[in-house]
Structure 1
Amino acid sequence: MLQITDLVKRYGAGEPVLKNLDLKIEGESIVSIIGSSGAGKSTLLRCINKLVEPTSGSIVLNGTELTALKGHALREARRKIGMVFQGFNLVDRLTVMENVQSGRLGYISSWAAIMRRYPKDDIRHAYELMERVGIAHYANKRADELSGGERQRVGVVRALMQRPEILLADEPTASLDPKTSEQIMQLLRDLSKELKLPVLINIHNVAEAREYTDRIVGMRYGRIIFDGLPGELVPEAMEEIYAGVPSQDRQQGTAPSAALKAAT
């Protein structure tokens, strides 16, 4: 279970990006976070895996208080948090297998990683996961030879190689065409159920959030102002989350109007 309590993130002396935020995620549910640009969605995910340091508050993952960790203890805790990125974050010159095995860097020695001496169990598990997501036949292909959807599947497998206790996805479909986006969202949904893995997705496309996630969290100006089932996201709730954003932009994930962006 992920338990976030009274979370605040402030950059410098400005207005906090996250304001006394509370959120609980448990079980194998897949939860989406929606909201306009500047709402704090990406900052929330980066606070959870401590890519940025929270200003105050508590983040507890299965009994471990993440905000208090430093050094080796923090590195060990990060093993339990898988991360899928919008821009894939692959090393283009490396093969698919080598990129996938980077998900095990927290578990093997530096020498083994440099020499690419991966444990046999890790190689076997990588092939199993790659087979599951349909990229096993690309194991020895360079990452820069793949399509966007294939690259994102590599990113998903890399995250799963950590054997995480929660999977975070920061706009995982933003760089993909509509059909591929749907395939990736369905894949994340299926894997969440199969692996009994909670998944937290920051997403702009409200239609995909409604279709593929079990619960939707709406953010505005660093606060959670909606938390419910997809069917409960009625027009009034949408208006509160996206006040001033054209409805077409909400569905397609495009940037909000200049006026709203300036306000956030």
Structure 2
Amino acid sequence: MLRIKDLVKRYGNDKPVLKNLNLEVPGESVVSIIGASGAGKSTLLRCINRLVEPSAGSITLNGMELTGLSSGQLRKARRRIGMIFQGFNLVDRLTVMENVQSGRLGYIPTWRAALRRYPQDDIDRAFHLMERVGIAHYANKRADELSGGERQRVGVVRALMQEPEILLADEPTASLDPKTSRQIMELLQALAAELRLPVLINIHNVTEAREFTQRIVGMRYGRIIFDGDPAALDNDAMDEIYAGVPAAEREEAEHTGHLREVAAR
């Protein structure tokens, strides 16, 4: 269970990006976060794993309060939080296997990582997961030789190598073509069920959010203004979430799968 209470994030003296936000994500659920650019979606995800430091409030994962941890405690806690990035965040000159093994850096001694002497159990697990997502045959291929969809699958396996208690995905399909985008969403949906893992996805593709996630959270101005079943995301809710996006453009966006990013104002 992820429990967020009264979360605030402010940069300097500016207005808060997140405003007393409250959210609970139970186990084995796939939840999408939608909203215009500037709504605070990415900031929310990055506060959860403290890539961004919250200004106030609490974030608890399965009973562990994350916001008050020291740097050493945080390093261990991050092992419990898998993260998938829009830009993949791979080391291009390293092989797929080496990139995947970076998901174990919180578990193995530094000397092993430096020498690339990974425990056999970790290698076996990596092959198992790579086989599951269809990239095992690329194990010794450099990351920069892969397509976008293949690179994102490497990112998924790297996150799963952490044996996380929750998976965060920050616009995981934004850099992909529509066909590959659907494949990645199908994969995340399937893995959540297989591994009994809660998944929280920041996504601009409302069509995919409706199809592949069990719950949609709509954000605007750093607040949650919709939280419910995809079937309940009607035109009124969309109007409120995407204020400032013309109706014609929104209709076109839903047909193509992608909403244009318009800064919330």
Please classify the TM superposition score into its range, dividing by the shorter chain length: over 0.9
Residues 12-54 of structure 1 show CA distances to partners (whole Å, capped at 9, x for unaligned) of 1111000000000012010000000000000000000000100
Matched AA of 2:239: E
Kindly indicate whether residue 236 of structure 2 is the aligned counterpart of residue 254 of structure 1: no
CA contact (8 A) 1:249 1:255 kept: no
Counterpart of 1:209 in structure 2 is 209
Q: What does residue range 192-207 of structure 1 map to in structure 2 within 5 Å?
A: 192-207=192-207
CA contact (8 A) 1:2 1:59 kept: yes
Structure 2, unpaired ranges of 5+: none
CA contact (8 A) 1:219 1:225 kept: yes
Question: How much does 1:255 deviate?
Answer: 1.9
Counterpart of 1:187 in structure 2 is 187
Residues 93-134 of structure 1 show CA distances to partners (whole Å, capped at 9, x for unaligned) of 000000000000000111000000100000000000000000
Identity %: 75
RMSD: 0.8
Q: TM-score, normalised by structure 1?
A: 0.97
Structure 1, unpaired ranges of 5+: none
1:252 aligns to what SS in structure 2?
coil
1:24 aligns to what SS in structure 2?
strand
CA contact (8 A) 1:217 1:224 kept: yes
In structure 2, distance between residues paired with 1:149 and 1:178: 11
1:117 aligns to what SS in structure 2?
coil
In structure 1, distance between residues paired with 2:234 and 2:22: 22
Q: What does residue range 1-264 of structure 1 map to in structure 2 within 5 Å?
A: 1-245=1-245, 246-247=249-250, 248-249=252-253, 251-256=257-262, 261=263, 264=265
Matched AA of 2:260: T
In structure 2, distance between residues paired with 1:214 and 1:29: 7
In structure 1, distance between residues paired with 2:244 and 2:60: 35
2:67 aligns to what SS in structure 1?
helix
Matched AA of 2:259: G
Residues 40-78 of structure 1 show CA distances to partners (whole Å, capped at 9, x for unaligned) of 000000000000100000000000000000111110000
Residues 116-153 of structure 1 show CA distances to partners (whole Å, capped at 9, x for unaligned) of 01000000000000000000000000000000000000
Question: How much does 1:253 deviate?
Answer: 3.1
Q: Which runs of 4+ in 1 moved over 6 A?
A: none
In structure 1, distance between residues paired with 2:27 and 2:47: 21
In structure 2, distance between residues paired with 1:47 and 1:71: 15
